[in-house]
């Protein structure tokens, strides 16, 4: 009897559902009013987020994401305009970063010749205050450390030696001119400048 009643009920429900236009019924439902009656916070509290996330294969999701296409839709300028650069830089520990830099290794990779070729030496020299440099030079100290007597003696000796050499050269020239003239008067060929006297030759040989 119960089985017959259940069979009749199922048949009746099936006939009713077949007769009902579900789309028409849904069109008559005010979904906004229905959602207003739903306690979303209570519903969320009943959801086990951790259990849901544990079932999510994040790697599989990322593999399906076209990052290039995603980044192409990002307005980088607008994104950067929202960044407070000063606040960001303020959090950077610059000394710590510098301490980790191997300055010697960096300098070894610098082509000094190429750098110097780009330097305008004339412009650098023009910016040098020569007068200021000279003012910082202790001229009196330099003079005190200089042996002026020795410098003057060397200069005087050099001048005297030059004068002596000039006089000797002029004397030899005169002697040679006289020897040429004597040779012409004696109608003999000129054999060269006259040598020193015999006594001087003996002394030079000894």
Are 175 and 195 contacting, i.e. CB atoms less than 8 angstroms apart? Answer: no
Look at residue 200 in the predicted model and tell me its pLDDT: 44
Look at residue 154 in the predicted model and tell me its pLDDT: 59
Q: Where in the chain are the domains?
A: 2-100, 148-193
Look at residue 138 in the predicted model and tell me its pLDDT: 79
pLDDT string in tens for the chain (206-residue length): 677 777 877 877 777 777 777 777 778 878 788 778 888 788 888 888 888 888 888 888 888 888 888 888 888 888 888 888 888 888 888 888 888 888 888 888 888 888 888 888 888 888 888 788 778 877 777 767 766 556 555 555 555 566 556 656 655 555 666 666 666 666 666 666 555 554 444 444 44
59 contact partners, CB below 8 Å, separation of at least 6: none
Give the CA distances from residue 158 to residues 146, 150, 161, 162, 167, in Å, rounded to whole numbers and listed in that order: 19, 12, 5, 6, 14
User: Quick one: how far is CA 154 from the chain centroid?
Assistant: 53
Burial of 6 (0-12, 13-18, 19+ CB in 10 A): exposed
133 contact partners, CB below 8 Å, separation of at least 6: none
Are 199 and 193 contacting, i.e. CB atoms less than 8 angstroms apart? Answer: no
Look at residue 87 in the predicted model and tell me its pLDDT: 85
- Our CA angle for 147, 150, 152, nearest 5°, is 105
Look at residue 97 in the predicted model and tell me its pLDDT: 84
- For the chain, how far is it from start to end, CA to CA, in angstroms? 166
Q: What is the sign, positive or negative, of the torsion defined by CA atoms of 34, 37, 39, 40?
A: positive
175 contact partners, CB below 8 Å, separation of at least 6: 193, 194
Look at residue 195 in the predicted model and tell me its pLDDT: 56
């Amino acid at each position: 009897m119960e089985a017959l009643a259940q069979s009749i009920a199922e048949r009746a429900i099936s006939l009713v559902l077949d007769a009902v236009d579900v789309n028409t019924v849904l069109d008559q439902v005010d979904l906004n009013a229905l959602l207003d009656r739903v306690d979303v916070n209570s519903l969320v509290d009943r959801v086990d987020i951790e259990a849901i996330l544990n079932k999510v294969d994040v790697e599989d999701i990322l593999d399906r994401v076209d990052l290039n296409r995603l980044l192409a839709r990002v307005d980088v300028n607008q994104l950067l305009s929202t960044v407070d650069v000063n606040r960001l830089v303020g959090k950077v520990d610059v000394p710590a970063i510098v301490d980790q830099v191997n300055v010697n290794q960096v300098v070894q990779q610098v082509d000094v010749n190429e750098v110097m070729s780009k330097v305008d030496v004339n412009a650098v020299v023009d910016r040098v205050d020569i007068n200021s440099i000279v003012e910082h030079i202790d001229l009196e100290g330099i003079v005190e450390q200089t042996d002026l007597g020795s410098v003057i003696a060397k200069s005087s000796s050099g001048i005297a030696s030059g004068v002596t050499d000039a006089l000797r050269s002029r004397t030899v020239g005169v002697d040679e001119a006289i020897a040429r003239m004597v040779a012409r008067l004696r109608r003999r060929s000129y054999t060269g400048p006259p040598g020193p006297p015999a006594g001087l030759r003996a002394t030079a040989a000894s």
